[in-house]
Amino acid sequence: MKRILGFMVITLLLCNCNSGDNKKKTVDKTEKPTATPIANLISAADISATVVLLTKKHEATEKERIEKGVARVAALWQKSDGTVEEFKTFCTEKFIPQGEKLDIAFDKLSANFEIMYGMFNKMQLDLRVPLELDKGEVTDIDMLFGAYNASAHITQDFFANKIAFLVALNFRFFDLEEKMKKGENWSRKEWAFARMGDMFTSRISAEVLQEYSKISTDADAYISEYNIYMGKLLTENGEKLFPEKMKLITHWGLRDEIKSNYAVDNGLVKQEMVYSVMQNIINQSIPESVINSDKLEWNPNSNKVYENGKEIAATPEPNTRYQHMLNVFRAIRKIDAYNPQVPTYLDRKFDEELEIPMEQIEQLFTELVSSPQIRKVGKIISKRLCRKLRPFDIWYDGFKARSSINEDDLNKQTREKYPTAMALENDLANILRKLQFTDEKAEYIASKIRVDASRGAGHAAGASMRGDKARLRTRVGKNGMNYKGYNIAVHEFGHNVEQTISLYDVDYYTMNGVPNTGFTEALAFLFQKRDLELLGMKDETPNKKELKILDQLWAAYEIMGVSLVDMKVWQWMYDNQDATPAQLKGAIDKISKEVWNKYFADVFESKDEPILAIYSHMVIYPLYLPAYPIGQLIEFQIGQYVEGKNFATETERMFKQGRIVPQQWMREAVGNELSIKPMLDAADEAMKQLDE
């Protein structure tokens, strides 16, 4: 996931791939926020007068920059910044004409922002080490420092010392429509200036930022310790199906356990039990006493709890999952007040962060999940399973080569190869060589990545300044890294490679990164799909190319359905801002079933299934889910393009582009804009080949 857990806390994204096992905290109920726009101090007449003064002082070619810059400073200026006359004086004295002086200002600003953002990012990551790494019990002190946002006052400080106003005045902000229309003809330098202009578009108080940081940390801690002890689950006959010590984090571990049971004895029975656990989590009927506890036994089907073989009374979880979602939403609503031009998080997420309008994304998703190709693939899966599809078959893993390989054998190999996190770190350069990176480039990239043993399933955290290292965090057990941990680690390593190339090799600091999180997910997927190859295991699966295409289409189908639920839930929360946790739970139940019934019920021949609401991202990473299917579409198009080419060379070329708008990035990378058509066309051809 992007440059996650880095300076993203300032931009209020805070999106990891997965999470860790932290100490439980009491749920905080936030007050109902207001979102009254901040009143402007500077009048239209004052703006016009200032523009007249400046245009007399500078050449006519500067008129548009002057008008845009003065208006933007006026929109951000508050009483504490000075009088109207001081506003006029600031604008007339601090405007920098185009040319050498503006270039020097840009270079100095870029260098200093890199220092500050990089240091704050490093501090944030280091303060969260006790929460995210496997380093013993998490204490209240760890939670306090983990929730502390050292950068919370940075925007306030930049306005107080007028640096933010200097940037706003001299580096023009272009909205998404302008970037899409004009960006293709911009030079790299013009793009870098435009990204500098993106920096100060709102003015959020430090108190609001700090509150968001605390609330999101509490939600993360809740999910991070949401483990199910699988060895304590009972069937109706009192039988235990899973190893005694197996502990799975929700939803990631539970989902991956379903995936791993397609080629094992008793697999369907295990999958049905895991699905029952998921249903209890979604509807909050799960007994609170069995969460992250190995003291009691639980039958998730009957929802009965046993202690020493005797049934005991158990209290359901009190809608904690949905309280955390509301806490995060209400903290974000307070931020809305500081963004009058983009007044909802939905607007900011799609127009400013993803830089693809929500309507376009929703159209892409609904067209794919409604497609006839999906219906055909569903029938193929049902035939391969020799049964009707069950709801959890949205995670069908039988098209992959590893689905036919015994996972115990895979676990043995990965544990021997990677007994510790350091063993993986020492092997990173070798992994890159296998992916066609030169010796020099492999060592270069690997030297800028550090591997740590994570409490949770794993995540990638990028650096925000050159000289610092990206972090690869993955779960490593006492006996070494199992296959699931390795598979996730390869995915996260893909993020780290993107993070390194798009920071160290991009020509301007303001351009570092990728257009949106979907692009870093794309490279992570490309790495993850090569996990067996990187272990030196040859894929002898017949029709492996065709099966891979069907696997990609089915995976996109699943996550697009989940993403549609996530988007509709956020729309519902904005329409029902005073909702209770119980009302939100009811709404999510309704929305997830409506999406299921519209796009999944005919494929699975079952209605009113809630499974699309299980993703933990909905609790802790607001509206992150749409990035995954966007990433899958990008990954598919890139994958098609690099076939037969040097993977490393193309990866470097593409990701050195940095943060231009998504559709332009795609055109320059692969020659076409983002589309579902390549995947659907390839699926048609794959099914034709399989029929023959």
For residue range 509-522, list pLDDT tens digits in order: 999 999 998 899 89
Asked if the model's pLDDT at residue 25 lies above 90, the reply is no
Query: Lowest-pLDDT range, 141-150, 588-597, 656-665?
Result: 141-150
Nearest to 631 by CA among 526, 474, 534, 544: 526
Cα–Cα distance, 51 to 45 (Å, whole number): 10
Q: Which residue has the higher pLDDT, 210 or 681?
A: 681
How confident is the model at residue 341, as a pLDDT?
75
Tokens of 627: 């990035």
Residue 683 pLDDT exceeds 60: yes
DSSP at 63: H
Give tens-digit pLDDT for 627-641. Answer: 899 989 999 999 999
Q: Percent of the chain, pLDDT > 90?
A: 79
Contact 460, 495 (CB under 8 A): yes
Residues listed for the chain: 692
Q: Where are the domains of the chain?
A: 39-201, 223-321
The pLDDT assigned to 35 comes to 53
From CA 143, how far away is CA 12, in angstroms rounded? 19
State the average pLDDT over residues 260-288: 96
Instruction: Note the pLDDT of residue 353.
Output: 92
What's the mean pLDDT in 363-383?
98
Handedness of CA 477, 481, 482, 483 (dihedral sign): positive
Q: Which helix (H) or strand (E) covers residue 610, if one does? A: none
Following CA atoms 457, 463, 467, 468 in sequence, which dihedral angle do they give, to the nearest 10 degrees?
A: -40
Beta strands in 457-564 (DSSP E): 458-461, 470-474
* pLDDT at 150 (0 to 100): 83
Strand pairing category for 458-461 and 470-474: antiparallel
Confidence band, pLDDT 50/70/90 cuts, at residue 17:
very low
Taking a C-beta distance cutoff of 8 angstroms, is the pair 390, 272 a contact? yes
pLDDT score at 60? 86
| In the predicted structure, residue 26 carries a pLDDT above the cut 50 | no
Residue 299 has phi, psi (to 5 degrees) of: -100, 100
For 522-566, how does the pLDDT look when each residue is reduced to its tens digit (9 = 90+)? Answer: 999 899 989 989 998 876 667 888 999 999 999 999 999 999 999
Please provide the DSSP assignment of 244-283 as one string. Answer: TT-EEETTHHHHHHHHTTSSSTTHHHHHHHHHHHHHHHHT
pLDDT tens column, 425-455 = 999 999 999 999 999 999 999 999 999 988 8
**Given this model, what pLDDT does residue 692 score?**
76
Best CA proximity match to 227, nearest among 475, 419, 411, 524: 475
Q: What is the mean pLDDT of residues 388-395?
A: 98
> For the CA atoms of 364, 367, 373, 377, what is the dihedral angle to 10 degrees?
80
* pLDDT at 646 exceeding the cut of 70: yes
The pLDDT-based confidence of 579 (bands split at 50, 70, 90) is very high
Residue 497 has pLDDT above 50, yes or no: yes
Would the pLDDT of 485 be above 70?
yes
| Portion of the chain with pLDDT greater than 70, in percent | 93
Both tokens of 347, joined, read: 């607007």
Mean pLDDT of the chain: 91
The model's pLDDT over 467-480, given as tens digits with 9 standing for 90+, comes to 999 999 888 888 99
> Is pTM beyond 0.85 here?
no
- Note the pLDDT of residue 38: 52
Q: Is the pLDDT of residue 6 over 60?
A: no
pLDDT in tens, 156-207: 899 999 999 999 999 999 999 999 999 999 999 999 999 999 999 888 887 8
Beta strands 449-453 and 470-474 are parallel
DSSP 286: S
